[in-house]
């Protein structure tokens, strides 16, 4: 079996990446399993998804605790201990990081046990689909390439199937296919070996779970008005920067920011609260004067 864990943020297409991976593996003749894990979180919150592939029936269930491949779509998560991105990895884990930094710099900076594979897929996403934050196709292409055993045409067919369910128009699907081909050519292939063991799971080994009331697993929050204390600014991978000379003071960005992180100053110019702006970039899309620039955030540690 091969186990893959994908990390990213809500809105980056991490769940779709795992679905493309699963479908590509299925088309290539493997038994496949893929699923995300997230709760009632906002866009930008850390999320994780999983995939398992085997030549036999996949009986193992639940989160992948010890991945063979770790796909990190969002480099900033490595600085967030709560995201636990490298949990369960060791020197044998094949780690991919979407980054502009070199593999050597990433290993040193994040104290990794092994040299990670690095590729700036955000830049490729910007080039081909003009969305540097939508990583689904590119991250899936990296995963397919790293694990090996799956041909390019299976990857492309999986992308057509997963994106072509009425959600994305044909031109955008074509752009995603070109993106996938480019990533497939650029990422290294390792042709990983499948372990024979399924961790001792078998069809006869059932775990009977005790029924408990939902309140046992739901967080209870008793404090009032504490949202401002959660500084979601560290979720941000791209920073919106207002150019006041282009801004006409219409206030649309102020009205459309889902987090209430923009206020208008005395001159009717927007001021962004970077402690809490999570980088969804809705303000950029909404600004009629194109007065808000996108600056990539993760270069800051150089």
Question: What is the distance between the alpha carbons of residues 180 and 199, in angstroms, rounded to a whole number?
Answer: 33
Q: Which is nearer to ligand SF4, 29 or 258 (CB)?
A: 258
Residue length of the chain: 302
Nearest distance in Å: CB 296, ligand SF4: 13
Q: Which is nearer to ligand SF4, 59 or 294 (CB)?
A: 294
- Neighbour count for residue 107 (Cβ, 10 Å): 18
Nearest distance in Å: CB 294, ligand SF4: 9
Nearest distance in Å: CB 240, ligand SF4: 4
Q: Which is nearer to ligand SF4, 2 or 291 (CB)?
A: 291
Q: Which is nearer to ligand SF4, 153 or 289 (CB)?
A: 289
Q: Which is nearer to ligand SF4, 55 or 230 (CB)?
A: 230
Binding site for ligand SF4 (CB under 6 A): 240, 242, 247-253, 257, 259, 261-262, 270, 272, 277-283, 287, 289, 291-292
Q: Which is nearer to ligand SF4, 180 or 298 (CB)?
A: 298
Q: Residue 138: which H helix or E strand, with range?
A: helix 136-147
Nearest distance in Å: CB 134, ligand SF4: 15
For 210-261, give the DSSP string.
PP--GGGTS-----SS-GGGS-GGGG-SEEEEE-TTT-----HHHHH-TT--
Question: What is the distance between the alpha carbons of residues 279 and 8, in angstroms, rounded to a whole number?
Answer: 14
End-to-end CA distance of the chain, in Å? 38
* CB-count burial class (<10 Å; 0-12, 13-18, 19+) for 6: buried
Nearest distance in Å: CB 20, ligand SF4: 26
Q: Which residues contact 39 (CB under 8 A, 6 or more apart)?
A: none
Radius of gyration of the chain (CA): 21
Nearest distance in Å: CB 249, ligand SF4: 5
């Amino acid at each position: 079996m091969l186990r893959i864990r994908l990390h990213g943020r809500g809105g980056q297409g991490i769940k779709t990446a795992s679905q493309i991976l699963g479908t590509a593996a299925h088309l290539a003749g493997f038994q496949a399993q893929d699923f995300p894990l997230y709760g009632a979180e906002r866009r930008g919150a850390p999320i994780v998804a999983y995939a398992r592939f085997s030549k036999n029936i996949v009986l193992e269930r639940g989160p992948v605790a010890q991945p063979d491949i770790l796909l990190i779509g969002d480099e900033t998560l490595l600085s967030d201990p709560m995201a636990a991105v490298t949990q369960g990895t060791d020197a044998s884990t094949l780690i991919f990081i979407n980054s502009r930094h070199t593999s050597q710099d990433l290993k040193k900076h994040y104290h990794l046990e092994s040299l990670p594979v690095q590729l700036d897929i955000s830049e490729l996403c910007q080039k081909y689909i003009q969305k540097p934050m939508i990583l689904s196709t590119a991250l899936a292409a990296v995963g397919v390439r790293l694990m090996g055993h799956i041909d390019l045409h299976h990857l492309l067919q999986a992308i057509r199937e997963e994106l072509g369910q009425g959600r994305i128009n044909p031109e955008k699907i074509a752009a995603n296919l070109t993106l996938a081909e480019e990533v497939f050519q650029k990422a290294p292939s390792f042709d990983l070996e499948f372990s024979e063991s399924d961790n001792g799971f078998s069809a006869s080994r059932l775990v009977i779970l005790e029924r408990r009331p939902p309140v046992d697993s739901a967080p209870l929050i008793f404090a009032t008005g504490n949202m401002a204390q959660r500084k979601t600014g560290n979720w941000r991978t791209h920073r919106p920067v207002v150019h006041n000379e282009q801004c006409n003071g219409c206030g649309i960005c102020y009205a459309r920011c889902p987090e209430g992180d923009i206020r208008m100053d005395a001159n009717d110019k927007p001021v962004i609260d970077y402690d809490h702006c999570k980088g969804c970039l809705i303000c950029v899309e909404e600004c009629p004067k194109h007065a808000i620039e996108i600056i990539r955030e993760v270069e800051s540690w150089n």
